[in-house]
Structure 1
């Protein structure tokens, strides 16, 4: 501490020492001030004017913001991934002896944000914690919490899957042991990485922290098992971190839910990106995504749940069937669906409201919003009254009306309540006798003062006399300067203005004290009554959260049925079989961007006898659309949604893998082809016979023969070794000859029609392979200069003629091995090899035979 520091700066340094990695917003009057290094960084990030403050003979850098504008600046800082310590005055300046005491009342970090202005209503804001033996080794424990909804989930994750899991959850902040600072964290993306001492992640200490927080003797009741030490470590570290970011205490965090492998599909980054599930390939907003098409949820928590469902399709047919039964019942029952959605229309964000109530943050209007939402529950329960499906029945029976909570709020809070409790008028008339009496005293005094103005005008003859009030000077008589000479002697001057004088009288002062005394007591009593109401509601937060969970699921199921009605989706058959058969399948997003009659549906069938489809056709014919729509239909079916098709039969897939498009990663020194090979390698290592593999153009980033070789070997591996259902869209027409040698390969193409020099894209799948890519025609359609197109046609014709001539002069097939020879005449060397018995050869004979075969092969 600098010896010349003022008391204020000493106080700031003490706070900063406890929060060295945060910007300290230090409350001084009506402003939040940033000092020293915080001021320099804050002025740069927030475009604030950097000034200085006298600090006992030296100058301290200073930047400040108005307190009322705090949220606007916090939004920017959270976007930059910064931590902010809000240091408020925690005692009344009027009662303080010396410097007003200050303390950090809240830490705002990317993963610990509570203000609606800083959050997206239809997207969770996750804080993650990871614990394990060491970065990069074996499994880790992963805990994920959304502090705005109270959700807390833990799971074991193999290190090699961490990228995919984090990518799906997309936490805003990740908490890590300090010793992991030297290791890159895969899959963190744009998340803020926060490091804390390794002791916080100690399994035993973390488990004790969890038991203390949730007031239990052990964690077995939450599903923790022997060997889950890193789950407890991650979860306990996260809960311990809450004590830092919420020093005033945090209520509403739910007991942890332990997720085990095998319940939901893990979607890798390529699949999430290529199928454009929740973000487009451009990464800007949800327009053009599957989420945008499907989101007919009426409530914010329904919208958040739908997003989570899309990123974690189910793997168990019975769980999928339960969702499909519920969607089907809503789909068939128009009346029930409309009634449910009407009831949901008035429901606000119960999850986040419950957290605000539990944390003591709920404003009077938010308490009313909670009551208004609960008022819709009886309507929702009635709408579900005749539900037959097992899932809807369970949800209906779990919907508690919570009339006691709603009635308590409605009895206490005025329907016309202001935004802030400080504005007064929050508590309803008739709720508290003492409050009503104080208000009567205040209102009577105010009425008397209002009548006094007329009385004094008549008594003094000053027609411009009026009574005014402000918080500094209280009540006063105001008289213009022109009539000041007529003011009676018993008026006492209070304030002089440019054009008027202000006065008071003993009588006015007496009534002012009655008004202000009553106002002060009213304010204190209203604050106490409101705090008691909020505390009573906080005790019911677990009940509110259970209801919110049920409401969200009902909302998503009814929304999926609404989409099915609007978009003409059908219920898929989902089972544990291998086959994937789609009749009249459509792309759920693309079809929304064009008139229904213009989208051409297609049939696709993959089964054990035909598990690999080689899909050829010209550019722009729609091969990529077919690939994506197959992946989306399979995913939708396992989410529990109806699908865009005339009919669909989906055997549950354990993973969906996609490799679409071309990109590079120059930062890591990876070319387009290297990225393509990395993605393909990940698929070949991760796919199983139960997977769905969708490939678009493998091997195009290198020479033709290199690329064709890689594409061929990849297809053979998927067919022979993996056995996964595969669609491979390609311009390597040579791959279609694989159907001659591999039993499970079929060929399909996207049909086109040539009309003179033009081509018409029919966008329909037909059996057989294509023999042309029509690249020159597509170049013309793209607007290439006509001279370039004409020259390209000329070159193409010359190359085709050269190829035909070369084929005419080719050696006899009996003298040449082909890449795809599966029939025809054998090579003499091969013929001779078939006749050799290697066990009967001496070493000398083997060497002579090898020399003869080499000579034959070279001829």
Structure 2
């Protein structure tokens, strides 16, 4: 197929960007060709056409340039990269218009306001392995954050994966071929399915230059491998964004030694920032505590929840601030009202920095800056250290506000190329051209009247057409009065048309006025934008302080609204909570009152709480509650309790609930054992461990043995503060100086059972599983049969129990279809088949096949096949 010069230009541009979908500007459209066209038409539902008429040979599709952002956002949201090729030369010039890639939009570098979620960061991360160390570099270019972490030792890969889960980034760069690539891919496929991969063959070739370009000496890494990782990430950002990124000017080191470590399992199990249902914010701890008024504050609160503090001093500083805000309603209300008017500073500044901000962004910045004096005034008399530091860090920008007030109209349009964004009175030249454009008819009438008077031609009139422009028309009867300064342009049947120097000058002004207005307005806008950029660092710092104030005010509002109390932070290794409540569950309960419970864990007389009791009685809720209250205290939040003294923990480990990782082929029991292995390997005496029903995924004796061994290991080797819930009542004999038995109080009245949801000292002697089955709606025949079997099992011991089950009388057959079904359920051939199955080793597909066979067998035995 012979290619036109334009198509040759397209293919050459595409060859330079093979991993991106190329949006190629042709007039008022972005066009895509060949494979790109096929992909885009399928993903966006666009019609596939062709310039040659044969869409099989040269498929093509396109989108209007003014609506391209919507289409690009959809593609990027699905993991694609989009390269934008714009017309650089004059499209009216002869020959082929020059086109160049102006930016590449990727999932981790998207800056479009409509594509970003206000309360969520949009991170991009890079992973780099060197000398058995793993380096993580990351950034959110929409907010200006940049950070790195170094992971060493035997747990380095797990620490990396935990960090990636917290970041939940849509794009991950991998340098070279790390030894853990398979495990990394498996983890992201399972936990971060929307994350796209970008591979980099080698590190940056200008490491030191990149680091010096962006960061001052105080924040540059000491480690060479960290410099290499950060510089390589910056290279990629410059290659894609293709604009100034000086707002990435502060580099943060992820120092795990300063924070309570929360691994992936715990973050998921406790539903701290993402729920298990759909990964959203609803019904999470973040959802409960989020009374923030700014997008910056909401993002920072999420970060505090995922990185709780470890040391008592900074925790108490935050608690002091929350206490001051809780007690001072006027201060809290004033700050919340001011913060409510503040737009997303961080992302506004980024759009200004990279040159994508429009006039509406500048108005949003002006409104935000105008709120700062009010915040300063409200904080004039604050006493707590953190609030005092925030007050000192919040600057006012009166000169900028004045500039924006004078220059930008209050309700500008979105486009910068259509005018109407600069106020009248700001620039004299602009005002003059506007007067010309606005008063053109009056000025034209003025010229016409003046010419009539000067020439004496009463029928003279001024007109306009696209061919000749403006002209003076005189009927033939008046041509003898036409002065010499008139230049004839056209002869008509009954008139002559002329031009004059004045009319030509007027025409030039009129026709060029609108274009000139737009250009002047754009130039003035960029001048204002550059003035703002000169103070970008100072505004960024103020934005950060505003976010802290917003989070502290949010925590104070939550404390006031929900009746939370300030925990007393200690260093004695004790967690002592009086009448603690679950922060999520108590919010969800509408008809019942939440039953509070006490907790006392220490290294002297109650290191392990061994909790027994029935299902649905509240054991799991209670254990989650202790973990969540400890975490809340360590972010500097008040907690739902009557009173509490909490010593910070270095890690919170949880093993709660039954969840199959079917994608990775792991059964419930394997998942459970993996999580327990992690806990036993990395927990310390300063950790808080939550274990729920260990061993239930295997046989009774196997499970009981594992559960006992785990408790013994924690008591003798780990010494972590532990809450251990179990159905194995036999484990209650482990009670000693450090292991204490607790149970959920139950009230029985005849056959009626009430779960009091109160944790009390002692052990339970029943599980009440059949009662729970009855509440769940199992048929009476089934629960009755279960009671008979249970009675037989409880009357025998050890090996005699199996024989006792066989002696239990089967229900007498009744002439009803339900009895026929029960009879077939316990028929000998079907029972033998069921007993022969090794369920715990079967894959989901094998299990479905066996279930189908069993159903067919049951039909045959019931005479239905």
Q: TM-score range by the shorter chain?
A: 0.7 to 0.9
Give 1:553's aligned residue: 548
Give 2:576's aligned residue: 581
CA distance in 2, matches of 1:252, 1:92: 32
Q: In structure 1, which of residues 677, 680, 686 is the aligned counterpart of residue 682 of structure 2? A: 686
* TM superposition shift of 1:422: 2.0
Q: In structure 1, which of residues 657, 662, 666 is the aligned counterpart of residue 662 of structure 2? A: 666
Give 2:151's aligned residue: 157
Please list the CA deviations of residues 194-239 of structure 1 after superposition, one character each: whole Å capped at 9, or x if unmatched.
1112132x6xx4233211344x6xx4x21522xx112111111111
Q: In structure 1, which of residues 681, 703, 721 is the aligned counterpart of residue 699 of structure 2? A: 703
CA distance in 2, matches of 1:398, 1:133: 39
* TM superposition shift of 1:786: 2.3
* TM superposition shift of 1:725: 0.3
Question: What is the DSSP-based 3-state SS (H/G/I as helix, E as strand, rest coil) of the residue aligned with 1:421?
Answer: coil
Question: What is the DSSP-based 3-state SS (H/G/I as helix, E as strand, rest coil) of the residue aligned with 1:393?
Answer: helix
Q: In structure 2, which of residues 365, 388, 406 is the aligned counterpart of residue 370 of structure 1? A: 365
Give 2:456's aligned residue: none
Give 1:209's aligned residue: 210
Q: In structure 2, which of residues 750, 762, 765 is the aligned counterpart of residue 768 of structure 1? A: 762
2:524 is equivalent to residue 529 of structure 1: yes
2:160 is equivalent to residue 143 of structure 1: no
Question: What is the DSSP-based 3-state SS (H/G/I as helix, E as strand, rest coil) of the residue aligned with 1:423?
Answer: coil
Q: TM-score, with normalisation over the residues of structure 1?
A: 0.84
Asked if 2 retains the 8 angstrom alpha-carbon contact of 1:265 and 1:315, the reply is: yes
Give 2:482's aligned residue: none
Give 2:780's aligned residue: 786
Question: What is the DSSP-based 3-state SS (H/G/I as helix, E as strand, rest coil) of the residue aligned with 1:86?
Answer: strand
CA distance in 1, matches of 2:624, 2:667: 25
Question: What is the DSSP-based 3-state SS (H/G/I as helix, E as strand, rest coil) of the residue aligned with 2:262?
Answer: coil
Asked if 2 retains the 8 angstrom alpha-carbon contact of 1:165 and 1:266, the reply is: no
* TM superposition shift of 1:148: 0.1
Give 1:828's aligned residue: none
1:416-427 maps to which residues of 2 (within 5 A)? Answer: 416-427=411-422
Asked if 1 retains the 8 angstrom alpha-carbon contact of 2:335 and 2:375, the reply is: yes
1:176-575 maps to which residues of 2 (within 5 A)? Answer: 176-180=174-178, 183-184=181-182, 186=184, 187-188=187-188, 189-190=192-193, 191-200=195-204, 205-214=206-215, 219=217, 221-222=218-219, 224-225=221-222, 228-447=223-442, 514-575=509-570
Give 1:43's aligned residue: 41
CA distance in 1, matches of 2:559, 2:48: 57
- The 1:427–1:554 alpha-carbon spacing in structure 2 relative to 1, beyond 3 Å, is same
Asked if 1 retains the 8 angstrom alpha-carbon contact of 2:128 and 2:135, the reply is: yes
- The 1:468–1:235 alpha-carbon spacing in structure 2 relative to 1, beyond 3 Å, is farther
Asked if 2 retains the 8 angstrom alpha-carbon contact of 1:26 and 1:34, the reply is: yes
Asked if 2 retains the 8 angstrom alpha-carbon contact of 1:627 and 1:727, the reply is: yes
Asked if 2 retains the 8 angstrom alpha-carbon contact of 1:623 and 1:750, the reply is: yes
Give 1:826's aligned residue: none
Please list the CA deviations of residues 290-320 of structure 1 after superposition, one character each: whole Å capped at 9, or x if unmatched.
1111111000000000011110011111111
2:117 is equivalent to residue 123 of structure 1: no
- The 1:119–1:440 alpha-carbon spacing in structure 2 relative to 1, beyond 3 Å, is same
Give 2:715's aligned residue: 719
Give 2:74's aligned residue: 76
* TM superposition shift of 1:182: 8.2
* TM superposition shift of 1:533: 0.8
* TM superposition shift of 1:414: 1.3
1:589-628 maps to which residues of 2 (within 5 A)? Answer: 589-595=584-590, 598-608=593-603, 609-628=605-624
2:755 is equivalent to residue 757 of structure 1: no
- The 1:749–1:146 alpha-carbon spacing in structure 2 relative to 1, beyond 3 Å, is same
* TM superposition shift of 1:265: 2.1
Please list the CA deviations of residues 766-818 of structure 1 after superposition, one character each: whole Å capped at 9, or x if unmatched.
111111111111111112122222222222223223349969x99xxxxxxxx
Please list the CA deviations of residues 609-661 of structure 1 after superposition, one character each: whole Å capped at 9, or x if unmatched.
20100111111101110011111000000011111111111111000000011
Asked if 1 retains the 8 angstrom alpha-carbon contact of 2:291 and 2:558, the reply is: yes
Q: After the TM superposition, which of the residue ranges 82-91 and 602-611 deviates more from structure 2? A: 82-91
Give 2:171's aligned residue: 173
CA distance in 1, matches of 2:207, 2:538: 27
CA distance in 2, matches of 1:185, 1:804: 44
CA distance in 1, matches of 2:632, 2:765: 34
- The 1:637–1:451 alpha-carbon spacing in structure 2 relative to 1, beyond 3 Å, is farther
CA distance in 2, matches of 1:795, 1:505: 114
Give 1:133's aligned residue: 130
Question: What is the DSSP-based 3-state SS (H/G/I as helix, E as strand, rest coil) of the residue aligned with 1:132?
Answer: strand
CA distance in 1, matches of 2:663, 2:557: 45
What number of residue pairs does the alignment pair up? 761
Unaligned runs of 5+ in 2: 449-462, 472-487, 805-865
Asked if 2 retains the 8 angstrom alpha-carbon contact of 1:6 and 1:55, the reply is: no
Give 1:820's aligned residue: none
Please list the CA deviations of residues 64-94 of structure 1 after superposition, one character each: whole Å capped at 9, or x if unmatched.
1222332222222222211111111223313
* TM superposition shift of 1:376: 0.2
Question: What is the DSSP-based 3-state SS (H/G/I as helix, E as strand, rest coil) of the residue aligned with 1:737?
Answer: helix
CA distance in 2, matches of 1:561, 1:597: 26
Asked if 2 retains the 8 angstrom alpha-carbon contact of 1:179 and 1:198, the reply is: no
Asked if 2 retains the 8 angstrom alpha-carbon contact of 1:130 and 1:176, the reply is: yes
* TM superposition shift of 1:400: 0.5
Asked if 1 retains the 8 angstrom alpha-carbon contact of 2:129 and 2:178, the reply is: no
Q: In structure 1, which of residues 634, 637, 640 is the aligned counterpart of residue 633 of structure 2? A: 637
Give 1:106's aligned residue: 103
CA distance in 2, matches of 1:296, 1:303: 8
* TM superposition shift of 1:600: 0.5
Please list the CA deviations of residues 6-53 of structure 1 after superposition, one character each: whole Å capped at 9, or x if unmatched.
111111112211111111111112221111111122222222222222
Asked if 2 retains the 8 angstrom alpha-carbon contact of 1:344 and 1:555, the reply is: yes
* TM superposition shift of 1:668: 3.0
Please list the CA deviations of residues 553-610 of structure 1 after superposition, one character each: whole Å capped at 9, or x if unmatched.
0000011000000011111111222101111111111111124961111101101120
Give 2:646's aligned residue: 650
CA distance in 2, matches of 1:472, 1:31: 29
CA distance in 2, matches of 1:261, 1:661: 27
Asked if 2 retains the 8 angstrom alpha-carbon contact of 1:413 and 1:428, the reply is: yes
CA distance in 2, matches of 1:59, 1:780: 67
* TM superposition shift of 1:468: 12
CA distance in 2, matches of 1:388, 1:552: 19
Asked if 2 retains the 8 angstrom alpha-carbon contact of 1:104 and 1:247, the reply is: no
CA distance in 1, matches of 2:490, 2:737: 108
RMSD over aligned CA atoms reads: 3.2
Asked if 2 retains the 8 angstrom alpha-carbon contact of 1:618 and 1:773, the reply is: yes
- The 1:505–1:747 alpha-carbon spacing in structure 2 relative to 1, beyond 3 Å, is farther
Give 1:838's aligned residue: none
- The 1:596–1:643 alpha-carbon spacing in structure 2 relative to 1, beyond 3 Å, is farther
Unaligned runs of 5+ in 1: 454-466, 477-489, 495-503, 811-859
Give 2:793's aligned residue: 799
Asked if 2 retains the 8 angstrom alpha-carbon contact of 1:279 and 1:289, the reply is: yes
Asked if 2 retains the 8 angstrom alpha-carbon contact of 1:302 and 1:555, the reply is: yes
Question: What is the DSSP-based 3-state SS (H/G/I as helix, E as strand, rest coil) of the residue aligned with 2:321?
Answer: helix
Please list the CA deviations of residues 387-435 of structure 1 after superposition, one character each: whole Å capped at 9, or x if unmatched.
1011110110111101122221111111132222222111111101111
